[in-house]
Amino acid sequence: MKRNGMTGSRPSSGALWGAGAAGVLGFISALAQVILIRALMSAFSGNEFVVAVVLGTWLAGIAAGSFIVRSSDLRVAFLLLISSVFLLPLTVLGAGLLKPALGIPLGSIAQPGIVAVAAAGLLLPLTMVLGGAFAILARAGGSDAAAVRVYGGEALGFVAGGLLMTFVIFSPLPPGVAQWAEQAAWPGYHVVTARQSHYGHLVVVERGAQKSLFENGKHLFTAPDALAAEEVHAGVLVHPAPRRVFLVGGGVSQAGAQVLKHPVEQLDYAEIDPEAVALERDHIADIRDPRLRVLTGDPRAFLDHARDLYDVIAVNGSDPADLLTGRFFTREFFALARRHLSRGGLVSVTISSSEDSLNRQGMAYARSVMATLSAVFRDVRVIPGEKMTFIAGDDIPPVTADLLVGRLRERKITTQFMRGYYLKERMSPARVDAALRWLAGASEVGTDERPVTVERSFLFMTSNYGGAFSKLVEAVEQAPKFLWLVLPCALIAASLAYPAAVPFVGAGLMGFTQMVFQVAVIFAVQAFFGYAYAAVGLLTAGFMLGAFLGTRIFSRIASRWAVHAGPGSQALLAGLFIAGLGWPVLFWVFPVLAGISAGLQFGLYTAMAGQGQAGKVYAADVIGGGCGALCAGLFLVPLWGAAATMALVGAISLLMYLRACKSALP
């Protein structure tokens, strides 16, 4: 009996062994991918763009391995699997040492080009071994049906590994080696302690009399650091009588302690990661005050469910160079904050800037914050400086140095830096005029769906290393969107002249669109919920579960239905994603549905390619996927937003669906 062009005979023992080994391969791949994504996010300051770079380089290595390895001997596959077990801890060790080895300053953000080259060099040995093992297992069964079973077996193993990594966060390094590597990653500092949480890798380091807390390599705060801690005074001083304050970030013992110098009745300090609060209390400083309430969990969720009204809501954490922090710099968050302001209340937002000169990237960053605040509030005032503070509300008086100094005196607040001479110099007419000129240009508004402020902040943070990437991003942003359809259309048109290329073109475009879809989902989970660091294993497991189900469904349906259920469903799924942006809970369902579509398409294109071509179909799939990960993470989702990106996915999928309909098997 034939179904979808594949022989439906009973699988041989070799094919079953191959499928079982593929399950082990998938399990190892899941562990390795999730561990290394987390390790490299920590090495490169927690930016989600690292996820796209890792996935892109990961798939490039898989493709290279599947091309190079030509054997069909299962013994070679088992040898490669064993070697991958030893390569994984070595790769993780290398990931932890990358930043000091490359000379990247601790706490800073590396250029994506540096990250891509470093990640490729680090991941290539392991990923080529994994890709070679898959190619052998796909050939060893002796039929395309066996190759599809191997694909499904790998997917099932990946599900098990992804689920394990969702609920268990561990390192493959022995404890002694892990401790040595942790210290080696922080030259010039003494590592006091390190801890994994569901939001990232936390490290407390010490140098001299100061201790600093980092999460995923990103600096959260240093103690003592009066200059940074006192920045929070600006927003609180503008309010004539602050009684209730909601503070996001800056350290409860640092910014929080400064707020408590004011005559406030209640300070709610919100920190999304409870482990960060625990480390601060245990190893940096612990303050006790009956007016202080520490809220551990998502600050947005607290505000969304709270009935309290606040006089001041201050965002005093890190710059939004990643989606986790960027959740507090969107129109939706500012609108939520506005609903919880008392009469005359205000929102204070602090970002990195410059006293006297600001480059093009810094101006674009500041304008994006200004535009987003202005989309919600009637009045937005600016206090310039190395840290630029925005004061937003519906009735904010002019903010002057005399106003701030006068209120410091009225409230009898003692400060080290935030004093009269400092404020008058910082807020001199020349500096205020310069800041207003920087903010004069137009900018798009940042939203949860399209967090442009994150991209602008990221470009500013990396601009010190040169502007090559910034120029590339600007060129991509200014280019007409339809140009992204030129290459897919050209490939599909070429397949009309060369029908034998249809399955490989289809697999490549499937890989591209599926990986764009996956990256969009991961970014959306981070933007809406904030814990993609922990959830990446669950999300990839969901996709691979869908891929397994897709291969099983494919083996049981006619080819004409496979075309509709594969490429056709992917176009439909892109539309569902756009419609589902208002219901973020659906983000947990989309990976499974996308995986089913991918499994169906892999089976379809393998059958269309003919006997012995499964390895090439797989290679086309992963090459397309690598390109999709890089394009989605670096350009499409940050610049276009999720909705426009999914529209592109839908258009490409629809074109390939129409082409596949002409070439479907009988």
Q: Is residue 470 part of a domain?
A: no
Q: Where does residue 70 rank: exposed (0-12), middle (13-18), buried (19+ CB within 10 A)?
A: exposed
Burial of 394 (0-12, 13-18, 19+ CB in 10 A): middle
Asked whether 537 and 30 are in contact (CB, 8 A), the reply is: yes
Cβ atoms of 133 and 81 closer than 8 Å = yes
621: in domain: yes
Task: Looking at the structure, tell me whether residues 146 and 259 fall in a common domain.
Answer: no
The answer to whether position 546 is within a domain reads: yes
Q: What does the pLDDT average to over 78-87? A: 92
DSSP 104: P
Co-location of 283 and 137 in the same domain: no
> Domain for residue 113, yes or no?
yes
Same domain assignment for residues 485 and 442 = no
The domain of 518 spans: 2-175+480-663
- The answer to whether the CB of 555 falls within 8 A of the CB of 624 is no
Residues 537 and 590 in one domain: yes
What is the pLDDT of the chain when averaged over all its residues?
86
Residue 569 located in a structural domain: yes
Residue 439 in contact with residue 382, Cβ under 8 Å?
A: yes
Task: Tell me how far apart the alpha carbons of residues 201 and 214 are, in angstroms, rounded to a whole number.
Answer: 8
Structure tokens at 64: 């290279």
Task: Specify the CATH number for the domain of residue 136.
Answer: 1.20.1250.20
Q: Is 249 left (phi over 0), alpha (psi -120 to 50) or beta?
A: left
Rounded Cα distance, 389 and 367, in Å: 13
Domain count of the fold of the chain? 2
- Alpha carbon 53 to its chain's center: 10
Amino acid at 349: V
β-bridge mates for residue 292, sequence order: 267
Cα separation, 458 vs 110, in Å, equals: 10
Please give the Cα distance from 260 to 242 (Å, whole number). Answer: 11
d(CA 145, CA 555) in angstroms, rounded, equals 8
Burial of 235 (0-12, 13-18, 19+ CB in 10 A): buried
pLDDT band at 282 (very low <50, low <70, confident <90, very high): very high
Whether 181 is in a domain gets the answer no
pLDDT at 245: 96
E strand intervals along 286-402: 292-296, 310-315, 341-354, 379-383, 385-393
* pLDDT digit string, tens, across residues 498-547: 888 888 999 999 999 999 998 888 888 888 887 777 777 888 888 888 88
Does a structural domain hold residue 190?
Answer: no
Residues 432 and 505 in one domain: no
Nearest one of 186, 192, 166, 7 to 107, comparing CA atoms: 186
Give the residue from 449, 471, 497 where a domain finishes.
449
Domain boundary among 403, 433, 449: 449
- Both 428 and 490 in one domain: the answer is no
Check: pTM over 0.85? Answer yes or no. yes
User: Distance of CA 247 to CAs 271, 393, 493, 584, Å?
Assistant: 9, 16, 56, 26
Convert the pLDDT of each residue in 556-600 to its tens digit.
775 566 666 667 788 888 888 888 777 877 888 899 999 988 888
Same domain, residue pair 486 and 595 = yes
Output the pLDDT for position 294.
93
Residue 136 lies in a domain: yes
Q: Mean pLDDT lowest for which of 34-48, 221-235, 295-309, 429-443?
A: 34-48
Torsion of CA 630, 632, 638, 641, to 10 degrees: 180
Measured CA to CA, the distance from residue 146 to residue 148 in angstroms comes to 5
Q: Are residues 44 and 139 in the same domain?
A: yes
Pair (349, 399) in one structural domain? yes
Residues constituting the chain: 666
- Give the position of tokens 């710059």: 319
CA distance 171 to 196: 10
Taking only the tens place, the pLDDT of each residue in 285-300 is 888 899 999 999 889 9
Q: Could you give the 3-state DSSP secondary structure of residue 263? A: coil
Quick one: 396 and 275 in the same domain?
A: yes
- The region that residue 341 occupies, defined by phi over 0 for left and psi between -120 and 50 for alpha, beta otherwise, is beta
Question: From CA 136, how far away is CA 150, in angstroms rounded?
Answer: 10
Among 14-28, 133-147, 443-457, top mean pLDDT goes to 443-457
pLDDT over 90, % of the chain: 35
For the stretch 180-218, pLDDT in tens is 999 998 998 999 999 888 888 899 999 999 999 998 888
Domain end point (choices 410, 433, 449): 449
Tell me the CATH number at 403.
3.40.50.150
Pair 394, 518 in one domain = no
Which of 257-266, 315-324, 392-401 is the least confident region? 315-324
Round to whole Å and give the CA distance between 485 and 644. Answer: 13
Tokens of 553: 């469904």
Q: Looking at residue 256, what is its pLDDT?
A: 92
